[in-house]
Every structure is written in C-alpha cells, then in structure tokens.
Amino acid sequence: MAPMPTKTLSLTAPAATAAILMAVVMASMAPSAAANEEVKALIALRNGLDDPSGELASWIPDLVDPCTWVRISCNDDNRVNSIQLGNLNITGPLAPELGKLEQLQYMEMAGNNLQGPIPPEFGDLTNLLSMDLYKNNLSGPIPSTIGKLKSLKFLRIDHNRLTGPIPEELTGLSNLVDVDFSSNDFCGTAPTSGVFQTIPSTSFDNNPRLKHPRNDGGDDSSC
C-alpha cells in the first residue's frame, strides 16, 4: 500500500493577513494601556488637590495622552518621566497611584502645601532620579520602601513635618549626591553607614529629637 501523503498545515492568505493585523493591534495597544494607567495615576493626584491657580485645568481624562498636559514631560516612548508642580500653592495629599508611573525620573513638587504621608508606593518608582518634596506640610515617617530607589540622586524633603527614624534602608542608595532631611521632626539616631558617611551633618539640622554622631545635638530618647 502506498504511504499516505503528509499534509502540511499552512495559513491561507486571508488568515495570515488577519494574524499580522492582530499582532500589529496588540503591539499598538501596549503603549496605549500604559498611557491609560498613567492618566489614571495623574488624575488621582489632581482629584485630591486644591489648585487655586487652575494650573492643572488641562489634566482631564478625555485627553488620554498625558504628554500634552501642562507641567508633565514624557520620554521618547511617550511615557511620563517628569512631574513639575513646584511653587503652585497647591494643597492636598500625595496620591499613592503615582507609584504606577514606571518611567518617572523627576518628581518636583516643592514649595506647596502638600499634606499627609509620603506613600510607600513611591518605592515602586525604580527609575526615579530626583524627589523634591521640600517646603510642604508632609507628615508621618519616611517609608522604608524608598530604599528600593537605587537610581535616586536627589532626595530633598526638608522643611516638612516628617517624623520617626530615618530608615536604615536608605543607606543602600549609593547614587545619592544631594540629600536634605533638615527642619522636620525626625528622631532616633541618623544612619552613618553606606552613602550616609559622606552626607554633611547640616543635612540633619533642626530636628530636635534626632541625634547625629558627628555633632552634639539631638535627643533620641523619645523616638
């Protein structure tokens, strides 16, 4: 008996075209899905803020490309990499949803009246280079999750009402070049290992309950 012919499965031209179109659609949806998450995160921030100058009026969900919003910058992949909200007299909390801005590098929100804690979710901003939250009204402890921000170079959170000890996890942030914890209500003993060996003692000034081994100030007994 002659052997049965082997059948080779292959896509017809219409099926192949459909498969290619589906791949293109799926590829185009990925950036759109990321942009949608970024819109949600930024709107969560905006909804919690009192914006007396109306500076954030262009932040509306219907404009699904946040790269067109004022005080927002994006990278070449149209992902949000910078929030510039300094000195706008805005009031309100920091939204935990900002931790979903995976490509964020610059968080500039200094000189406002931001209140409440620094969200632990900010530890997910692994591309962050600069966190400027100084001269606000923030309270509560520094989340230990900030120690995951290995790219961080600038951490300026002075002139707030932050409390608790400075987390030891921050000593592993080897790229830090400018740090300021002054004028808060930190307590305990400031870390001195890792990158903290080179941080000047003045960066811890005006924390009456914080003790620093390189000066005689501070009383950590009530931490």
- What distance in Å separates the CA atoms of residue 30 and residue 116, rounded to the nearest whole number? 34
What residue ranges in 54-151 does DSSP mark as E strands? 72-74, 80-84, 91-93, 106-108, 113-116, 130-132, 137-140
Q: What is the pLDDT of residue 213?
A: 78
State both tokens at 150: 């290995």
Residue pointed to by tokens 């000890």:
165
Name the nearest CA neighbour of 136 among 164, 166, 116. Answer: 116
Q: What is the pLDDT of residue 32?
A: 62
The full set of domains in the chain, from first to last, is 24-182 (3.80.10.10)
- What distance in Å separates the CA atoms of residue 201 and residue 204, rounded to the nearest whole number? 6
- What distance in Å separates the CA atoms of residue 211 and residue 216, rounded to the nearest whole number? 8
- What distance in Å separates the CA atoms of residue 150 and residue 202, rounded to the nearest whole number? 23
216 φ, ψ (degrees, to nearest 5): -95, 0
62 φ, ψ (degrees, to nearest 5): -65, -25
User: Does the predicted TM-score (pTM) go above 0.85?
Assistant: no
Name the nearest CA neighbour of 123 among 170, 186, 72. Answer: 170
Residue type, 191: P
Per-residue tens of pLDDT for the chain, all 223 residues: 555 554 444 445 555 454 444 544 344 444 466 778 999 999 999 999 999 999 999 999 887 789 999 999 999 999 999 999 999 999 999 999 999 999 999 999 999 999 999 999 999 999 999 999 999 999 999 999 999 999 999 999 999 999 999 999 999 999 999 999 999 999 999 999 999 999 999 999 999 999 987 665 556 667 8
Taking a C-beta distance cutoff of 8 angstroms, is the pair 164, 184 a contact? no
Q: What is the pLDDT of residue 64?
A: 76
Name the nearest CA neighbour of 170 among 157, 183, 161. Answer: 157
- What distance in Å separates the CA atoms of residue 76 and residue 80, rounded to the nearest whole number? 10
